[in-house]
Structures are given as structure tokens and as C-alpha cells.
Amino acid sequence: MHAAIRGGAELIGTALLVTAVIGSGIMAEAVTSDVGLRLLLNQLSTILGLGVLIAALMPVSGAHINPVVTFALFLRRALSGADAVMYVLAQLLGSLGGVVLAHLMFGEVLISISGQDRLTTGTFVGEVVATAGLVAVIILLAHRGHEAAIPLAVPAWIGSAFFFTSSTAFANPAVTLGRMWTDSFTGIAPLSGFGFMGAQLVGMGLALALVTPLVAGSKEKKNG
């Protein structure tokens, strides 16, 4: 498929994912003061939207919608360098578009810098775990020819990690970038955001280190 179409799919997919994350957070703040319920509403909207976007865009671009997924597939030689750069640029641009769209719908200032400091040792580790699990799930399912399960497995992992990790599973540098520019429930202060991005890269590296021998072992078993 033409590169511009694939890049456009990544841009639109990331924009709509960020819109779902931020918009549902703003809505949750408006309808309840219970922080736990706000998080649950935010989680449900995020994972449902993510599942739909992956299912719709997989035939077009592979529905990475996440720079660490793109980078991991590039490192595994499943994606060319030119495509990887195009995808990441589209994802980052889409994330900013998603912020503007969410704020526009809810009558907020189009861009606002978050003041929520979220970075601690615990949340750094949480982001490593959330991202490592995400990347590992995608690679293992793709390796085994179970790509059809990805639109269900990825939201299931993120939905679970929302509550079992201390970071609430951002697990996506593009979404993290977008969330720096919203001073609402889902926002993250820029310094914390860059810390989360670092954790996400560590998580991606950990996933590749753990998954590579598993994949190699399964290949040897098949050949044997």
C-alpha cells in the first residue's frame, strides 16, 4: 500500500487514541469526583477505542499507533528504516492533533501544559513493565501467526496494566507526548513525561531481550 496512506493511517489512529484518552478523562472529571471511578471510565474508553482502531487500521498500516512498537519491529527487521521514521513522525504529529481535538470538543484551551508530576521510582518501573508486556505480546502473537488476536490482546493487556501498574500504563511515547499538553485528569508534566518515555524505551529493550530467545527456540523446534 502507498506510503502516504500508511502514514496517514498511523497519524489518524494515534490522533484518535489520544483523543479517547484525554477526552474520556475530561468527561470523567465532569461527571464524578471519585478518582477510582474516573480512572475506570478513562480505562474503558481507552481500551475500547484502542481495540477498534487496531482492528480497523491493521490492514492499512499494521496499526502500530505507538513509536515503541514501530521501533521494535524496525529492530527486528520487520520494517524498513524509511517506514519507521515516517510512522514515528506521523504518530507524534497525530498525538498533538488528538490533544487539540479533545480540547476543542470540551471547550478547553487548545493547548495547555500539564502540571501533574507522575515520575517516581515506582512509576518508572511500572512503565517498564507495561511497555515490555505490550511489545512482547505483539511480537509473540505476530510470530505465531495470530495477528487476528492482536486487536483483543493489546487492549486486554493495557486494560489490565491500567490497574496493576503504578503508572497506569501509558506504554506509548506518542500518547505520553500528547498528555504533556493537557492540564486535565490524564495530563503529565513534561519532565515526568520524558522520564516515562525513557522507561518505555527500557521496556521495549527488555521485551526484545526476553522474546528473542523464545522466538529463536520456537523456530529451532519447528525446524527440528
* 39: number of Cβ within 10 Å: 17
Cα(99)–Cα(57) distance, integer angstroms: 20
pLDDT at 215: 78
- Mean pLDDT computed over every residue of the chain: 95
Residue 126 — φ and ψ, nearest 5°? -60, -40
Please give the CATH architecture assigned to the domain spanning 3-218. Up-down Bundle (1.20)
Residue 196, all three cell numbers: 516515562
Cα(55)–Cα(128) distance, integer angstroms: 25
* pLDDT of 217 strictly over 70: no
Closest CA to 181 of 106, 115, 119: 115
In sequence order, which residues have a C-beta less than 8 Å from that of residue 1 and are 6 or more positions away?
60, 61
pLDDT at 174: 98
pLDDT at 214: 79
Mean pLDDT of 88-115: 97
Q: Where are the domains of the chain?
A: 3-218
Using CB atoms within 10 A of its CB, is residue 172 exposed (0-12), middle (13-18) or buried (19+)?
A: buried
Mean pLDDT of 104-108: 97
* pLDDT of 134 strictly over 90: yes
pLDDT digits (tens, 9 = 90+) for 10-64: 999 999 999 999 999 999 999 999 999 999 999 999 999 999 999 999 999 999 9
CA angle 56, 57, 58 (to 5 degrees): 105
pTM: 0.95
> Is residue 10 a contact partner of residue 31, using CB atoms and an 8 Å limit?
no
> Is residue 169 a contact partner of residue 50, using CB atoms and an 8 Å limit?
no
Mean pLDDT of 160-166: 98
* Alpha-carbon dihedral 73, 14, 168, 187, rounded to 10 degrees: 140
2: confidence class by pLDDT, cuts 50, 70, 90: confident
222: confidence class by pLDDT, cuts 50, 70, 90: low
Residue 107, all three cell numbers: 471547550
Mean pLDDT of 3-13: 96
The larger pLDDT score, comparing residue 91 to residue 224, is at 91
pLDDT digits (tens, 9 = 90+) for 57-95: 999 999 999 999 999 999 999 999 999 999 999 999 999
> Is residue 10 a contact partner of residue 64, using CB atoms and an 8 Å limit?
yes
pLDDT digits (tens, 9 = 90+) for 190-200: 999 999 999 99
Q: How many residues does the chain have?
A: 224
Query: pLDDT over 90 for what percent of the chain?
Result: 92
Cα(22)–Cα(176) distance, integer angstroms: 11
